[in-house]
Amino acid sequence: IQGRIVPALLEALGTGSNIDLQSSCLISLGKIGGNEQIPSTIEPFLSDQNQEIAETAALSYGILQSEEALPLLKDLLRDTERGRKYAGKSAGVPLRTRTFAAYGIGLLGYSTAKPEVQKDVTDTLWDTLINDDSRLKDIRVACVIGLGLSKVEDAGPVIDNLMSFLNNEDNDFLVRAHCPNAIAKLMRENNSGPEARGKAAESFIQLIGNRKTETEIRQSCVQALGMITQNTDEFADRVVKVLVETAEN
């Protein structure tokens, strides 16, 4: 792989003749990893004039699962002066590049085993989620999904934050709609106990039963109920009843 495939991908990446080929090479190099050339090879493509290439480069750092790439991805996401230099855009890091940087950060949170890196990831994504006011809600959606991927040692505070964001009707409903799924993933990954899962299930049930709840949020709550409920749970019968009634109605 390192002797034949990586050199071939590096050569193809340098041709610059085909956008689809270049983006595919970036993803492939990120998946393969294990080569000290790869991070420095990806970096120049962050400022590529083609937006698809630039955002794919940001995502590739997350796929590479290189903890050393976290500061770079944070600069892109937060649109810092250094991030603008990486992106080659003095007026600001493109919104789509920032979005893919958030996904990359989420992937790092999923792959790392270091508690300090996990906390840095969740703090960064949460801070961006609650403070970002850009016109592209995809950035905030990416932050929610990234938080759901994280393997932080104590997921309780992250779950509480996401639940609070979900229940705040002032937040965009399409961003909120990704919270139940993220909460369920965190609970499943961290083996949350029946009491915590039951509390979350009750919140999802209330949202499903509220006629004012947007369809997208209701759909996500239905999925989350299936993800967190085990057949031995005391609340399992109630969840099944709600799901059957929802399907019938």
Q: Which string of DSSP letters, residue by residue, matches 3-16?
A: TTHHHHHHHHHTT-
- In this prediction the pTM is 0.92
Output the pLDDT for position 140. 97
| pLDDT score recorded for residue 99 | 97
> pLDDT tens digits for 61-106?
999 988 999 999 999 999 999 999 999 999 999 999 999 999 999 9
Question: Which parts of the chain sit beneath pLDDT 50?
Answer: none
State residue 142's pLDDT score: 97
Q: Which amino acid is at 208?
A: I
- 3-class state of residue 132 by DSSP: coil
